[in-house]
Structure 1
Amino acid sequence: MEAQLGVLGGSGLYRMADLEDVEEVRITTPFGEPSDTITIGTLQGLRIAFLPRHGRAHQHSPSRVPARANFWALKALGVRWVVSVSAVGSLREEVRPLDFVIPDQVVDRTVRRPRSFFDEEGPVVHVPLDEPFCPELRAALVQAAIAAGPRVHERGTYLCIEGPQFSTKAESHLYRSWEMDIIGMTAMPEVRLAREAELCFAILALVTDYDVWHTAEEPVSVSVVLERLHQNVEAAQRTLRELIPRLEQLPGTCACSSALQNAIVTRPEAVPRDVRERYALLLGKYLPVES
């Protein structure tokens, strides 16, 4: 069972429409079970692995999403590209509810989530994150979103907070003073893990609200978020359908697939065989077990 495109569904997107030849798989990883069963199916000739980030019953809070297991599982299925669909709030007047944003930068304000596959053991790895999203996949996603019809912002900075609570007004105004554009709870550690797994990664951010800073708008709440998401889910599905033919046209010259090549600092002889075996999915081409 293999797939080329991985889709992480966020709040309101718990399944992929129009998939054919569907099968469901469970994958065990060194980091436990993924958020839920992974649905693999074919859409326009491309095999897609769909995983609801919070689980089908939305049982995982942002802080408890098993992100390492999710990305390990997608990598194990042969996925090359990953699109994360995420609900976000707007920190800018011009970024309106029901707009789409394809962020090009991210700021991490989370405090209690594993940030790396190599936190507890393994070699020391420092991947570059100056450009946190795959430039090729992000550009294709921008084109797909524009073709799908909603109002699209082609770039923006995503501020990721820990949650699960929404912001205070003071925090919201502070983030605006930092010139952040959108705010959410799931971009991190996904950005970090995608790079360590050498996967091309981009976010399709669905704007649901103005957080709590806007004096003329209702403050963000679960009911507001879900209502707006239900209005936007079909546009998100159309965007993913528009993306598929564009993936075949990508030049494949991005550095995502070799992110670890010059990032492993530990000397090879200092990485034990059992660690090499355990992390072979990620490290095998740089630290083979037999050496």
Structure 2
Amino acid sequence: MLAVIGGTGIYNIDGLITIEKHDVDTPYGKPSAEIVRGVYHGKEILFLPRHGSNHSLLPSEVNYQANIWSLKSLGVKQVIGLSAVGSLQQDIKPGDLAIADQYFDFIKNTREKTFFGNGLVAHVSTAEPTCKALADALSNAAEKCDISIHRNKTYACVDGPRLGTKAESLFLKNAVNADLVGMTNVPEVFLAREAQICYCTIGIATDYDCWQDDPKEHVTVEQVISRYGASLERAKLVLETYIKGTSARCSNRCNHALESAVLTPTESMTQDQKNLFEVLST
């Protein structure tokens, strides 16, 4: 089962025929919105708007645990995210699409970043945090549409909601060597790995953040929105083409991430811990 998580400006999917809506309760609270189960070009998928159906949640207010948990509990094995991002490299121009395969966690607030703790211990490998097979399939879909998409990029995640300083932008560009900057993919990507879900995000570059000398190129909300529409349509076309085709088959064992990661013996787990672990490991 595939789920699509929509970012800024993506609160529904045109052409998705709704079958039902799931109001899911999780051990971590409520997800961002009801999860829509529907049929899209003959395939059953789930859809969840990351910021809520009316964009009412800041990046730091999104309940990432509940979002990923609810999708996993509904049988999701693959997640494709759509996200607005800033470009930290000259060759990724505003309007371009990009797929990140690496993440740099620059979050400093108190976002919950794991399903584990409170007596249940696991250390999941995130050396390769995204699904290469899914990224390859999306890249192939883009090629079929004659749409260019940057590959093998590093996404630096910041707190928000403020837009960054020039010093921060230059640090992420030069010291981290990041290519993209955004506010939402961490901890989403890491929770997906803990839930043994294949994960990949199509980043839609809207600006050059603020590392360039020309103040006219420094990111503003007005700039983001004005440049977003046409690029978003291209991202949706890539997504549509992927869904119409054959689903990616995972080659780097995303769906087996917990096999050697959990240190707490099953016999030592409480019933609540066993229930939690059962959902994650299914």
TM-score range, shorter chain: over 0.9
Query: Deviation at 1:27?
Result: 0.8
Query: Deviation at 1:122?
Result: 4.5
Whichever residue aligns with residue 243 of structure 1, its letter is: Y
Aligned counterpart for 2:134 among listed residues 133, 137, 159: 137
Contact 2:134/2:250 (8 A) holds in 1 = no
Cα deviation per residue 1:105-142 (whole Å; 9 max; x = unaligned)?
Answer: 110011221110114x2420111101010111111112
Closer, same or farther in 2 for the Cα pair 1:82/1:247, shift >3 Å? Answer: farther
State the identity %.
39
Aligned counterpart for 1:66 among listed residues 57, 63, 81: 63
Whichever residue aligns with residue 227 of structure 2, its letter is: R
1:210 corresponds in structure 2 to 208
2:267 corresponds in structure 1 to 269
Q: TM-score, normalization: structure 1?
A: 0.91
**SS state at 1:104 partner:** strand
Aligned counterpart for 2:95 among listed residues 98, 101, 114: 98
Aligned counterpart for 2:165 among listed residues 151, 165, 168: 168
Cα deviation per residue 1:149-207 (whole Å; 9 max; x = unaligned)?
Answer: 44311121000011111110111111111211010011100111000000000010000
Query: Deviation at 1:269?
Result: 2.4
Aligned counterpart for 2:190 among listed residues 177, 189, 192: 192
Aligned counterpart for 2:72 among listed residues 71, 75, 82: 75
Cα deviation per residue 1:247-270 (whole Å; 9 max; x = unaligned)?
Answer: 43x344430111001000112222
Whichever residue aligns with residue 131 of structure 1, its letter is: E
Cα deviation per residue 1:22-80 (whole Å; 9 max; x = unaligned)?
Answer: 42221111111110111111112211111000011111100110111001111111111
1:231 corresponds in structure 2 to 230
1:32 and 2:29 equivalent? yes
RMSD of equivalent CA atoms: 1.5
Contact 1:102/1:153 (8 A) holds in 2 = yes
- Within-5 A mapping of 1:268-287: 268-283=266-281
Whichever residue aligns with residue 276 of structure 1, its letter is: K
1:289 corresponds in structure 2 to none
Closer, same or farther in 2 for the Cα pair 1:107/1:252, shift >3 Å? Answer: closer
Query: Deviation at 1:19?
Result: 1.2
Q: TM-score, normalization: structure 2?
A: 0.94
Aligned counterpart for 1:146 among listed residues 137, 143, 155: 143
**CA–CA distance in 2 between the matches of 1:272 and 1:153?**
45
Closer, same or farther in 2 for the Cα pair 1:174/1:21, shift >3 Å? Answer: closer
Structure 1 stretches of at least 4 aligned residues deviating more than 4 Å after TM superposition:
none
2:85 corresponds in structure 1 to 88
Contact 1:149/1:235 (8 A) holds in 2 = no
Unaligned runs of 5+ in 1: 286-291
Q: Which moved more, 1:81-90 or 1:172-181?
A: 172-181
Unaligned runs of 5+ in 2: none
- Within-5 A mapping of 1:93-132: 93-111=90-108, 112-119=110-117, 121-132=118-129
Closer, same or farther in 2 for the Cα pair 1:214/1:148, shift >3 Å? Answer: farther
**CA–CA distance in 2 between the matches of 1:152 and 1:131?**
20
Q: Which moved more, 1:36-45 or 1:102-111?
A: 36-45
